[in-house]
């Protein structure tokens, strides 16, 4: 007997322990099926209220006196991320700059800490900014960037990393969750292999922070970076974060020597003398409004609990894959994500993925397109319902049955 998928979706929503968190977010278009929270998270009500208060009461009234509370915001957010999202210790995470800038700072510091080694390792499906930054670091330092092959659908393997390691490798830098497929890398196993080779490891957590458990402490991870505007819901252009294991902080020196990393910064001393804490990886004035947004988003994720978030994200993905098998595989789609071991998105491959993504937008479904020919469906556990997955994929099936996607040009005018 065929499964009533809509009834199934409602039952799953009724049993969802995180269902109430959807009410914490601004839902401006009730008919819109938003499946792109892995690119930009929704706006929390608490964030809107906090930013209004910061603008009206703190900036508007307190003026420069507000720095009495603003100056410690980067560490405050970092500690919430460490304890509630990243399984790190207080004092190991700090907010500031962008992911790309933080990656550069930590990659340069790591290579400086291994001065006799001449190789950086990454994979060919790492996020583009990571590859570009690492290429620039290698070129600046006269090093070699060793690029290993990564499967587009199943991600980078620990075996491939081990094969790339030797006593000339200074740094290995990879993404924990693959941006294209959502495949989760073996963070623990890869970190152990890198350490056995005497190198340092730098993880990109952009698609894992707030979506999957990140065992930084137990895995002994050296360094990590990540953004806050995806699953942490801090808004467009929100500041990134970086992690440095406590016992490495005094040893590493980042290349951008700014006054917020300086010991006794307001003494305005003549020479740079970095503090022996994670603050030495700061540069300039912290982003206050973005910091408040990141703080609100981090607190929401911490309140929900990363294990519960991961469990729901997995269940949402499993449901989407069931609907794919039943509804979409007959229309020429292929699954481009692992059936197990995923982050909070599911990716489908189809030769007309770009056109299909435009047809979905017309049908009030917002997915994400990624080359080559991939439709990425972000399933943000804090506000995505099972009925949203049902409705989004039902509209996609309707588009495929009617062949309405063929009306759209195959020439990509923009990438979403």
The DSSP letter of residue 183 is B
Among the listed residues 137, 294, 120, 127, the one whose alpha carbon sits nearest the alpha carbon of residue 205: 127
- Angle CA(10)–CA(300)–CA(240) in degrees, nearest 5? 120
Catalytic (active site) residue 4:
no
Given 97, 130, 153, 204, which residue is catalytic?
Answer: 204
Catalytic (active site) residue 105:
no
Cα–Cα distance for residue pair 60/169, rounded to 1 Å:
51
The H-or-E segment that residue 224 falls in is strand 223-226
Given 34, 179, 229, 390, which residue is catalytic?
Answer: 229
Contact 175, 130 (CB under 8 A): yes
Cα–Cα distance for residue pair 259/21, rounded to 1 Å:
39
Catalytic (active site) residue 229:
yes
Given 42, 230, 312, 370, which residue is catalytic?
Answer: 230
Number of Cβ within a 10 Å radius of residue 310? 19
- Give the three-state DSSP class for 95: strand
How far CA 166 is from CA of 88, 120, 344, 351, in Å, comes to 28, 11, 34, 40
Sequence-separated (6 or more) residues with CB below 8 Å from residue 387: 6, 9, 10, 13
**Pairing mode of beta strands 169-175, 223-226:** unpaired
Given 127, 179, 243, 310, which residue is catalytic?
Answer: 127
Cα–Cα distance for residue pair 66/379, rounded to 1 Å:
38
Given 281, 376, 385, 386, which residue is catalytic?
Answer: 376
Among the listed residues 226, 276, 257, the one whose alpha carbon sits nearest the alpha carbon of residue 95: 226
Sequence-separated (6 or more) residues with CB below 8 Å from residue 200: 110, 113, 114, 170, 171, 172, 194, 222, 223
Which residues are part of the catalytic machinery?
A: 127, 204, 229-230, 376
């Amino acid at each position: 007997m065929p499964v009533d998928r809509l009834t199934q979706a409602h039952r799953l929503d009724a049993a969802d322990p995180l269902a109430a968190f959807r009410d914490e977010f601004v839902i401006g278009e009730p008919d819109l099926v938003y499946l792109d929270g892995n690119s930009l998270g929704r706006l929390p009500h608490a964030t809107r209220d906090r930013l209004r208060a910061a603008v009206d009461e703190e900036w508007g009234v307190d003026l420069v006196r507000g720095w009495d509370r603003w100056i410690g915001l980067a560490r405050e957010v970092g500690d919430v991320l460490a304890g509630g999202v990243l399984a790190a210790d207080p004092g190991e995470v700090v907010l500031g700059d962008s992911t790309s800038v933080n990656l550069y700072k930590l990659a340069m510091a790591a290579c400086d800490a291994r001065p006799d080694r001449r190789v950086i390792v990454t994979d060919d499906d790492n996020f583009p900014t990571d590859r570009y930054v690492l290429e620039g670091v290698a070129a600046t330092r006269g090093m070699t960037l060793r690029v290993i092959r990564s499967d587009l659908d199943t991600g980078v393997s620990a075996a491939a990393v081990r094969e790339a390691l030797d006593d000339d490798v200074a740094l290995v830098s990879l993404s924990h969750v693959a941006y294209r497929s959502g495949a989760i890398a073996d963070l623990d196993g890869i970190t152990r292999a890198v350490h056995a080779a005497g190198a340092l490891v730098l993880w990109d957590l952009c698609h894992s922070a707030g979506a999957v458990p990140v065992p930084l402490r137990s895995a002994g991870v050296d360094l990590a970076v990540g953004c806050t505007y995806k699953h942490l819901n801090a808004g467009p252009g929100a500041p990134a974060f970086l992690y440095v294991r406590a016992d490495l902080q005094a040893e590493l020196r980042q290349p951008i020597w700014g006054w917020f990393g300086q010991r006794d910064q307001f003494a305005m001393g003549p020479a740079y003398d970095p503090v022996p804490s994670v603050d030495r990886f700061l540069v300039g004035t912290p982003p206050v409004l973005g910091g408040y947004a990141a703080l609100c988003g981090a607190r929401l994720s911490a309140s929900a609990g990363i294990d519960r978030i991961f469990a729901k994200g997995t269940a949402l993905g499993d449901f989407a894959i069931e609907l794919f098998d039943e509804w979409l595989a007959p229309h020429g789609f292929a699954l481009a994500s692992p059936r197990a071991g995923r982050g909070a998105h599911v990716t489908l491959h189809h030769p007309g993925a770009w056109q299909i993504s435009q047809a979905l937008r017309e049908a009030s479904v917002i997915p994400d397109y990624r080359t080559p020919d991939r439709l990425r469906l972000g399933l943000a556990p804090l506000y995505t319902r099972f009925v949203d997955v049902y409705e989004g994929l039902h509209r996609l099936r309707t588009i495929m049955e009617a062949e309405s996607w063929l009306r759209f040009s195959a020439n990509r005018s923009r990438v979403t």
